[in-house]
A and B are shown apart, each in its own frame.
Chain A
């Protein structure tokens, strides 16, 4: 199945589909997320039976500010697809898909740890890579890096996040 054929098959049900660089991206509402992943998994023509990855990106000042990204793979049909859900900074919450894919457990915990996205219905939504008493969600773009300026012969070299390089 070519990416265009996949996109056409999905668009009948979820019209917000984009094909770029031969990768298919489907954008769904967060209310429809669990239903969409279950349909993609069970629809024989697509058979997205394997959840590869969950992660997020943070775009401060945009709407939506957080995009949650689900990378799906079909083991029998050997193709891929991406499902994305947007949400705001203030209500960063999406339904957990742990009941559909057991692998989502740790992947959702990591996304919560790094971005503060709450996965509603997750059995144990706690930090996974950072210590439990860590404050904040460090992969958000507005988290301070905590760097200190350096002085060299009276010249101030700012920390890396203030250098404005490139």
Chain B
């Protein structure tokens, strides 16, 4: 057995076999309690945002204890990156929190760029801000839609996913994909906006504010919505900090902590936007903060788009030792290799072909060192701890995913409350299990 065998069963919640499935024991007597009921909620429960399993000890309808059991979506993303090049790593990390893939790519690429000591062109930085803020809106829309579904407000689910679809189509025309884009690359982004990209984004800017108003008309003073969310899953700012909780959950408790303001990256300090906060710290306040954040994101998108119109230049660093030279372009059948670039390496230049081959097979050598690179993801602080030993492959990639850390607060907010409140509590924390389990 491994070194861990001797350390099993340390916690009160574990029986002799180290298996939690047997349930909880009374801490006083060590026996299973007879008067309470042990229930597994999940892992396949429609309101657990994927595959989250909650082991609950119930006294009637009251939750006495709640133990989240996670790992059902663990795919070893961090280990996988150690056997791929730095560039290939992007395609792995983007799959962690799959509802907010651009943020994973951005945190990773900012980290690698800091290790390399390079800066990206202005146009690439603006496009990064643009796609990330659009992604923040889709992520909050998914959060809103699933919350609506779980509260029985099915129309909210339909509206949320309808608006998300507009942005997903923009993503598709920008990157060729609806998720797992691998669009943000080391040194920039993989390709410039398509010709009709700005128009599509303008159309969105015209449509979305009124739609957000509609959600608020529908929900802000809806008695059922307020009944289910107000005063539920309350977490104070102090407790948030102790538990490492960030993002809308922390801001709904009154603390305006936002990495875009506190430790700006990608030039966020030059954009005009506010950090919405509320003081109640409950599920309803989180809903209101997310709604307000969508409006702020729209403000940033508009500014980024205006600046993009005035900024020309490359979207990838020019240094051929770092920048990915192969360009993609949008053709009638979707996105593929740029025919001009293909002609260049296949017909014109042997040196370009050799260079292309080396970039694809080996990629970039990254100087030895370690960085912790963070971005403000829709769910809070997303960190990438990257270690290089000087080679072409990452030595270590650790994803500090906000969903993982925030989910730890669940027992805190649910013990002592009703089973029905679990639904509101989980959806107000808005965990994405792909990010939790990685």
Rounded to whole angstroms, the CA-CA distance of A107 and B121 in the bound complex is: 36
Given known pairs A57-B395, A101-B242, A116-B2, the reply for A129 and B11 (CB within 8 Å) is no
Q: Name A127's closest neighbour in chain B (CB-CB).
A: B4
| Cβ B255 vs Cβ A75 within 8 A | yes
Q: Is B60 an interface residue (CB 8 A)?
A: no
Interface string of A112-139 (1 = CB under 8 A from B): 1010101000111111111111011111
Q: Name A130's closest neighbour in chain B (CB-CB).
A: B71
Q: Name B407's closest neighbour in chain A (CB-CB).
A: A106
| Cβ A20 vs Cβ B395 within 8 A | no
Given known pairs A53-B400, A103-B244, the reply for A128 and B257 (CB within 8 Å) is no
Residues of A within 8 Å of B1, CB to CB, are 135
Residues of A within 8 Å of B363, CB to CB, are 166
Rounded to whole angstroms, the CA-CA distance of A125 and B243 in the bound complex is: 17
Interface string of A29-55 (1 = CB under 8 A from B): 000000000000000000001111101
Given known pairs A126-B10, A129-B437, A160-B83, the reply for A166 and B393 (CB within 8 Å) is yes
Q: Is A87 an interface residue (CB 8 A)?
A: no
| Cβ A106 vs Cβ B408 within 8 A | yes
Rounded to whole angstroms, the CA-CA distance of A122 and B8 in the bound complex is: 12
Given known pairs A53-B400, A135-B1, the reply for A118 and B7 (CB within 8 Å) is yes
Residues of B within 8 Å of A123, CB to CB, are 10-11
Of B2, B245, B372, B395, which contacts A82 at CB under 8 A? B372
| Cβ A124 vs Cβ B11 within 8 A | yes
Q: Is A102 an interface residue (CB 8 A)?
A: yes
Q: Interface segment, B94-102, B135-143, B286-294, B381-389?
A: B381-389
Q: Is B369 an interface residue (CB 8 A)?
A: yes
Of A112, A126, A136, A160, which contacts B11 at CB under 8 A? A126
Residues of B within 8 Å of A132, CB to CB, are 8, 18-20
Q: Is B3 an interface residue (CB 8 A)?
A: yes
Rounded to whole angstroms, the CA-CA distance of A159 and B301 in the bound complex is: 45
Q: Name B381's closest neighbour in chain A (CB-CB).
A: A52
| Cβ A52 vs Cβ B374 within 8 A | yes
Interface string of A65-93 (1 = CB under 8 A from B): 00001010101001110100000000010
Q: Is A4 an interface residue (CB 8 A)?
A: no
Rounded to whole angstroms, the CA-CA distance of A124 and B437 in the bound complex is: 19
By secondary structure, the A interface counts as: loop
Residues of A within 8 Å of B76, CB to CB, are 138
| Cβ B385 vs Cβ A21 within 8 A | no
B108-130, CB < 8 A from A: 114-115, 117
User: What's the minimum C-beta distance from B214 to chain A, rounded to whole angstroms?
Assistant: 35
User: What's the minimum C-beta distance from B383 to chain A, rounded to whole angstroms?
Assistant: 5
| Cβ B243 vs Cβ A103 within 8 A | yes
Residues of A within 8 Å of B243, CB to CB, are 102-103
B404-425, CB < 8 A from A: 404-405, 408
Q: Name B114's closest neighbour in chain A (CB-CB).
A: A21
Residues of B within 8 Å of A79, CB to CB, are 263
| Cβ B369 vs Cβ A71 within 8 A | no
Number of interface residues of B (CB under 8 A): 58
User: What's the minimum C-beta distance from A110 to chain B, rounded to whole angstroms?
Assistant: 8
Of A25, A103, A116, A125, which contacts B405 at CB under 8 A? A103
Residues of A within 8 Å of B114, CB to CB, are 21
| Cβ B10 vs Cβ A21 within 8 A | no
Rounded to whole angstroms, the CA-CA distance of A68 and B333 in the bound complex is: 49
Q: Is B149 an interface residue (CB 8 A)?
A: no
Q: Is B37 an interface residue (CB 8 A)?
A: no
Residues of B within 8 Å of A114, CB to CB, are 78
User: What's the minimum C-beta distance from B94 to chain A, rounded to whole angstroms?
Assistant: 19
Q: Is B70 an interface residue (CB 8 A)?
A: yes
Of A51, A118, A131, A138, which contacts B79 at CB under 8 A? A138
Residues of B within 8 Å of A106, CB to CB, are 404-405, 408
Rounded to whole angstroms, the CA-CA distance of A81 and B114 in the bound complex is: 16
| Cβ B383 vs Cβ A128 within 8 A | no
Residues of A within 8 Å of B12, CB to CB, are 124
Question: Which interface residue of A122, A131, A160, A165 has the most chain B CB atoms within 10 A?
Answer: A165
Interface string of B389-404 (1 = CB under 8 A from A): 0011101101010001
Instruction: Give 18 A-B contacts (CB < 8 Å), ordered by A residue.
Output: A21-B114, A50-B244, A52-B381, A52-B383, A53-B383, A57-B387, A69-B370, A71-B383, A75-B255, A78-B263, A103-B243, A106-B404, A123-B11, A124-B10, A126-B14, A132-B8, A135-B2, A166-B361
Instruction: Please list the residues of chain A having a beta carbon within 8 angstroms of any beta carbon in chain B.
Output: 20-21, 23, 25, 49-53, 55, 57, 69, 71, 73, 75, 78-80, 82, 92, 101-103, 105-107, 110, 112, 114, 116, 118, 122-133, 135-139, 145, 160-161, 165-166
Instruction: Please list the residues of chain B having a beta carbon within 8 angstroms of any beta carbon in chain A.
Output: 1-4, 7-8, 10-14, 18-20, 70-71, 74, 76, 78-79, 83, 85, 114-115, 117, 241-245, 255, 257, 262-263, 361-363, 369-372, 374, 381, 383, 385, 387, 391-393, 395-396, 398, 400, 404-405, 408, 437-438
Task: Contacts A124-B14, A135-B2 known; list 18 others, CB within 8 Å.
Answer: A21-B371, A25-B370, A51-B244, A71-B372, A92-B3, A102-B243, A116-B4, A128-B70, A132-B20, A133-B18, A135-B1, A137-B2, A137-B3, A165-B362, A166-B85, A166-B362, A166-B363, A166-B391
